[in-house]
Chains A and B, each alone.
Chain A
Amino acid sequence: MGSAELLQFAVAGLKNGSIYALVALGFTLVFGSTGIINFAQGEFFMLGGMLAVFFVKLGLPLPLAVVAGVLATAVVGLAFERVALRPRRDSGPLALIIITIGGSMVLRSLSRHAFGGNELSLPAFTEGASIVVAGAAIERQALWVWGLTIVAVAGLSWLYSKTRFGRSMRACSLSHEASRLMGIDTARIVMVSFGLAAVLGALAGVVVAPLTQTSFNVGARIGLKGFAAAILGGLGNPIAAVVGGLALGLVESMSIAFISSTYKDVIALVLLLVVLFVRPEGILGRATREKV
C-alpha cells in the first residue's frame, strides 16, 4: 500500500475519530456530574443532524439552520434531564441508566414520526472540490469536522479549567455532598451538563451529516462508538475522551486498510473488550484505587 493511500485512510480515521471524540465528550460530561452513562447520547447526535435538515427545509439559511439544530438539541437535552431524570434522581444509578435507554427509544420514535423514516442529507458547509494533500483527498467538510472539534474541545477545556462554573462542575464530579456544602446548586450543574452533552452530540451530528446523510436511527450506532471511545480513553477525563475517539477512528480505518471493511465494527468492539480486560481505567485513565 502506497503512502498516499495510507494517508487517505488516516484522514478518514481522524475524521471519524473526531466525531467519536465529540460524542465521547458528551458521555464524559454527564458521567462526571452524575456518575451515570447516558445512553441517549447517540440520539443527541441524531437530533442535531435531523433538526438542521428540518430547519433547512423550513427555509432557514444553512448556517442558521445548523446553529438552530444544535440549540434545539440542547433544549431537548436540558428538558430530558429535568423531566425524565431529575424526578428519579434518588433512585440510584441503575434506574437512571435504564431511564436514559428508554429516553433514547422515545427520542428515536419521535424523530421518526416528525421527520419520517428516510435518509436525509444536509448540504456541505462549504461548496467545492476536495483538497489534495500529498496524494490524499480531503473533503472540505472534513476540515469543518476538525475545526469544530478543536473549537469544542478548546472551549470545553477553557470552561473546565478557567471558569467558576467549570470549577463547580469538577467539584461536582468529585463529590455532590461536599459541593452542596460549598453552596453549589448540584441539580443545576447536572442539568447544564446534559445540555452541554447535547450540544456536543448535536455538533457532531450536524457536521457529519453532509458526509454520511442522516436518519432517525443513526443514534444507536454512534452512541456505541462514542461510548467505546470514552471507555477507551478513560471515562471522566475530557482529554482522554478525545484521545479515545481519535484512537478508535484510526484503528477502525487501519483495519479497513489492512484487513477488511467487513470487520471494521468488530475490531472496534474487540479493542474495547481488550482495553476493558487489560486496562479497565482506559488509556489515560487514573486507576480508581488511588492512594489516599
Chain B
Amino acid sequence: MSESLLKVEGLCAGYGRVPVIRDVSLSVAAGEVVTLIGANGAGKSTLLKAISGLIKPTAGTVIFDGLDVTGTPPERLVRQGLALVPEGRMLFGPMSVHENLLLGGHTQTPEGVRGALERVHTLFPVLAERSSQAAATLSGGEQQMLAVGRALMSSPRLLLLDEPSLGLAPKVIADIFAVLDGLRAEGLAILLVEQDARLALRHSDRGLVMRAGHVALEGTASELISNDDIRLIYLGAWHGEE
C-alpha cells in the first residue's frame, strides 16, 4: 500500500469527561475508500469529529498528509484538504443552495470556487437547477447531495462522510453512491461511516468494525463481506440475500 494520507494512532476522545472512543488506530491511503461499521453508539461519528477537529482528542495522534494535525481546529484542517460531511448534514437551511456551495468554497480562490462549482454542478445537476432555492426546502436526497457538494467545494483530498444514506430512498442512495464511486475513480480518499454496511463495503476498499469505542476488527471489504460473524451482526443477514 502507498503512503497513508491519514494515519490515526491510539486516538481517544469523548464529550466532557465521558470517553467515547478509546485507542483507535486506522489509516487511509490516498485514493482509498474505507468504511467504518458499527452499531449505534459504537463511536463512529465521534471518531470522525475527533479527526476533523470538531472535538479535541484526549490522547493519540492524527497525522494528515505527513503533518501532525491532532486537535487542529476544523477551519484550519479544511484548508489542508480534509473535509467532513457531518452527521445530520448541517446545511445552512435558510440560505440558498448557491450560497451553501459558496460557503463550502470559503477557503478557495475565486477561480477555485468557479471550477469547483462547475464540478459539483456536473456531479449533481439538480443542485444547479435548485440554485436559488433555500437549502431547507430541498428533499432529503437533494439535501444530502448539497451536503456532499458543499464539502467538495473545498477541493479536499480526504472526505469524511457521516451516514450519507440516512433516511433516504434506495434510488437516491444508489445515486449518491454512484457519485462516490466516481469520486473514488478520480482519486479522492473517503472515510465513510454507514449504517448500511453491506452497501458501504461494496463501494469500499477496506472496512473497520467498531464496537464500544474501539476497533474490533478490520480487513478488506471482501473479507468483511464474507466474514460470518460480521454478516450476522452488521450486514443484516435477515435481508435474505444468499
Contacts and interface: CB of A to CB of B under 8 A. Distances in A.
Interface of A: 164, 167-168, 170-171, 174-175, 177-186, 290, 292
B86 A178 contact: yes
B91 interface: yes
A177 to B, nearest CB: 6
A290 B93 CA distance: 11
Contacts of A179: 103
A183 B95 contact: no
Nearest to B73: A180
Interface string B135-158: 010000000000000110010000
B86 A182 contact: no
A290 B104 CA distance: 24
Contacts of B114: none
A178 B83 CA distance: 11
Given A170-B95, A292-B136, A184 B90 contact: no
Given A175-B90, A177-B54, A292-B136, A182 B106 contact: yes
Interface of B: 52, 54, 73-76, 78-79, 83-84, 86, 90-95, 99, 102-104, 106-107, 136, 150-151, 154
A182 B102 CA distance: 9
Given A167-B99, A186-B75, A181 B91 contact: no
A168 B103 contact: yes
Contacts of B99: 167
A184 B99 CA distance: 14
B92 A181 contact: no
Given A170-B95, A171-B95, A178 B106 contact: no
B86 A181 contact: yes
A183 B94 CA distance: 20
Contacts of A182: 75, 78, 103-104, 106-107, 150, 154
Contacts of B136: 290, 292
A82 to B, nearest CB: 17
A180 B90 CA distance: 11
Nearest to A185: B75
Given A164-B106, A167-B103, A180-B54, 13 more contacts: A164-B102, A168-B103, A170-B95, A174-B92, A177-B86, A178-B90, A178-B92, A181-B151, A182-B103, A182-B104, A183-B154, A184-B75, A290-B136
Contacts of A181: 52, 54, 74-75, 78, 83-84, 86, 90, 151
Contacts of B52: 181
12 contacts: A164-B102, A164-B106, A167-B95, A175-B90, A177-B54, A178-B90, A178-B91, A180-B75, A182-B103, A183-B75, A183-B79, A183-B107
B95 to A, nearest CB: 7
Given A167-B102, A168-B106, A175 B92 contact: yes
